[in-house]
Amino acid sequence: MVSEGEAFCPGHVTVFFEVHDDPDPRKKGSRGAGLCLDLGVHTVARVRDEARSSIDVIVNGRRQKAEVTQRVAQRVLGDRSCEVKILSETNLPVSQGFGVSAAAALSTALALDDALGSQVPRDELVAIAHETEVECGTGLGDVVPASLGGMDLRLKPGAPAHAEVRTFPVEADLLLAVIGPEMPTKTVLRDPKKVAAINRIGGALVDEFSRDPTMERLFELGARFAEGTGLADRRVLEVIRASRMFGRATMAMLGNSVVATGNREQLATLYLKFGTLQRCGVDNEGARVL
């Protein structure tokens, strides 16, 4: 008999952050701030008892290696002998700062647990997804805020039981513009000079934002972080500055992309000169079983 579970996890944009290293992946992570997107990853998990276990991951109709998703599924499955199919759908681009690997990991954990009927505590499923992201080098701080929704302020890093995250429900029409090539998270986090610049600027901005956690400040401090760290190239900075005529924009970490709010028609006209464009809102619910 085949059992099925279904879940959704919002995408998540970090706009500034500070890296915290730790030998324990559940304690490792980032302090920072960002927004959950009402675009994300929708996952269906199908499970059938078999003598030998197997896990197939299919993303947007194509079989993928998807290391993070594979590892999450293996951990949730444990020592059960099952044939598992993970079918994920997303219209967000990867390696552009929209938290796709985190959303895939967490939606997989929730959907597979639902299919298995295991009733693993939610915080443990979130911790599994966070831990796997950290170990694979695909992210440090998207999983926990994506589990919660809204605008987030991450005051302490890590998985649940270690993290301290404040969330704020907000309503906003957003534009996501991809204006350059993919920026794999690993390449940035493995560069000591870039991490040093991130931590030199990011920690102070987290403290500053905690005193006035508003959308306006989020975008203002994000733009300052993008420029001060050198993570934004000339093209991204040009787009952020040009956006000020019509609203506010900042770089999505870590990607050659921006997230913006304001006069959407004027901003859309601007962004289509540089690259691709998507419209979305803020997800205030966080990851959930459907």
Please check the confidence at residue 189 and state whether its pLDDT lies above 90: no
Q: How far apart are CA 197 and CA 201, in angstroms?
A: 6
Residues 112-159 have pLDDT tens digits of 999 999 999 999 999 999 999 999 999 999 999 999 999 999 999 999
* Domains of the chain with CATH codes: 1-290 (3.30.230.120)
Using pLDDT thresholds of 50, 70 and 90, give the confidence band for residue 186: confident
The whole-number average pLDDT for the span 44-68 is 93
Average pLDDT over residues 185-210: 93
- How high is the pLDDT of residue 205? 97
Cα angle 229-232-238, degrees, rounded to a multiple of 5: 130
Q: Has residue 263 got a pLDDT over 90?
A: yes
| Mean pLDDT, the chain, whole residue set | 95
Closest CA to 105 of 64, 156, 69: 69
Q: 74 pLDDT exceeds 90?
A: yes
